[in-house]
Amino acid sequence: MVGDQVAIPGLGSAPGGSTSEASARAFGEENRARLLQQYFSSAEAVTPENAWRHVYRLLLWIDRTTGLAHCYESDKCQPGRPWYARSLAFHVWSAEALGVAPGELDKHIDYLFRHATADLAHVAARNRARLLGTVSGQRRPYEGMGLPEPGEDPELESIIIEVLDPFLAQRPSPTALRELAERIYAHVGLENKRKNLVGEGFEDTVSALLSRIPAIARTHTIHVRPLLHQLPGFRQPRANSKPRQVDLALVQGATGRRTLVSCKWSVRSDREEQFVSDFRDYAELEEAGEDFDYVLVTNEFDPARLAAACEVRRQNSPLFSAVVHVNPAGPHAAYGAPIPPRGKGISRALGHIESGRLVGLDGWLRDVAGR
């Protein structure tokens, strides 16, 4: 539980808010903005050099199936597989880079999710208590039939008893076991909602960093999830076409230079084609007759996907003006795990790091600030 828990905006005093409504609000834009403001109010001032630390403190999380900082697809990071060794290396690197012990890393990261779920768990518990009378009335006609109680899971309860029985002075009551099972399922269910936060949360975090670097904030207008035609020099699509939305955009005040940013915490294989398609749409709707920058900001660790993003081209030029990783030292540490290399992906990705094609968030922010 998070100590400085506060109410979800819009649900703090609402007596009848549903859990689904609470979930939407807990992970929604208004609550994310509140949590970001809360975090930065006591965090160290943002600089290009420490920006990546803020990203990881806000969004990096522990994969509960491995106990390690998440850097790759969970099923491929299980003990015994190559990415488990890489996850170990990344976890140790992350802890050292953030100045904490590896066993304490979980307490210093995942700020947005931990705080959002603390609020959500509070609302869910309140809703369960509110519905007790209703549930009792619904079950009354069937009393004496031995129907399972809500949350009752005999298989899970037997697992709990089997594991803990040697340490228990007495067997827990059925009510205690049922409540424990409900809490376990609630914990797992909340973890499954992480994707609701990471996507737009990453966009919000990058925007918050940009707006807190004076050399950028005073020279650029920062747009979060704008429609493309709301940006200078882009026209609306045809009447029957869906408006295009951009994750993040920067417009320099003095020159009008436009930077369209695709913020993707991870790069799924289907997104690789989507990048090309998005750029094609942006170029088609550009009506000022001027170039614009197209930048990818990501925390992807798959070496082949990182290399592909660096290498993808449009006609005779790279598709992306810059490919930005939160911190390339993270993948570099993971790739250096003591296991035999497989395939050419790692060597390709390392080559792009060494050449500067794959840059860190710090380098990109310095570049934007220096324009």
Check which CATH number belongs to the domain holding 231 and give it. Answer: 3.40.50.10010
Residue 363 pLDDT > 90: yes
Angle at 336 between CA 334 and CA 339, to 5 degrees: 100
The pLDDT, as a whole number, for residue 15 is 39
DSSP codes joined into one string, 263-309:
EESS--HHHHHHHHHHHHHHHHHB-S----EEEEEE----HHHHHHH
275 and 264 in a common domain:
yes
Residue 369 pLDDT > 80: yes
C-alpha pair distances (Å), 314 with each of 124, 311, 319, 321: 49, 10, 5, 11
The model's pLDDT over 321-332, given as tens digits with 9 standing for 90+, comes to 999 999 999 999
220 and 208 in a common domain:
no
Confidence bin at 19 (pLDDT 50/70/90): low
Range of the domain at 242: 214-369
Question: What is the Cα–Cα distance from 173 to 94, expressed in whole angstroms?
Answer: 42
Residue 232: CB atoms within 10 A of its CB come to: 12
184 and 228 in a common domain:
no
Of the listed ranges 46-50, 129-133, 155-159, 317-321, the least confidently predicted one is 129-133
251 and 200 in a common domain:
no
272 and 165 in a common domain:
no
Question: What is the Cα–Cα distance from 281 to 322, expressed in whole angstroms?
Answer: 19
Q: Flag whether 70 is in a domain.
A: no
208 and 338 in a common domain:
no
Residue 17 pLDDT > 70: no
361 and 309 in a common domain:
yes
Domain boundary (212, 235, 261) is at: 212
Angle at 82 between CA 296 and CA 77, to 5 degrees: 65
The model's pLDDT over 208-256, given as tens digits with 9 standing for 90+, comes to 999 999 999 999 999 999 999 999 999 999 888 899 999 999 999 999 9
121 and 180 in a common domain:
yes
Q: What mean pLDDT do residues 340-354 have? A: 92
Residue 174: CB atoms within 10 A of its CB come to: 12
Q: Chain-centre distance of CA 360, in angstroms?
A: 18
- Reading the block at residue 368, the tokens are 């934007």
165 and 34 in a common domain:
yes
Domain boundary (156, 190, 212) is at: 212
Per the structure, the count of domains in the chain is: 2
- Specify the higher pLDDT residue, 179 or 300: 300
Residue 24 pLDDT > 80: no
The model's pLDDT over 101-118, given as tens digits with 9 standing for 90+, comes to 999 999 999 999 999 988
Residue 3 pLDDT > 50: no
Residue 152 pLDDT > 90: no
Domain boundary (167, 184, 212) is at: 212
232 and 330 in a common domain:
yes
The pLDDT, as a whole number, for residue 20 is 58
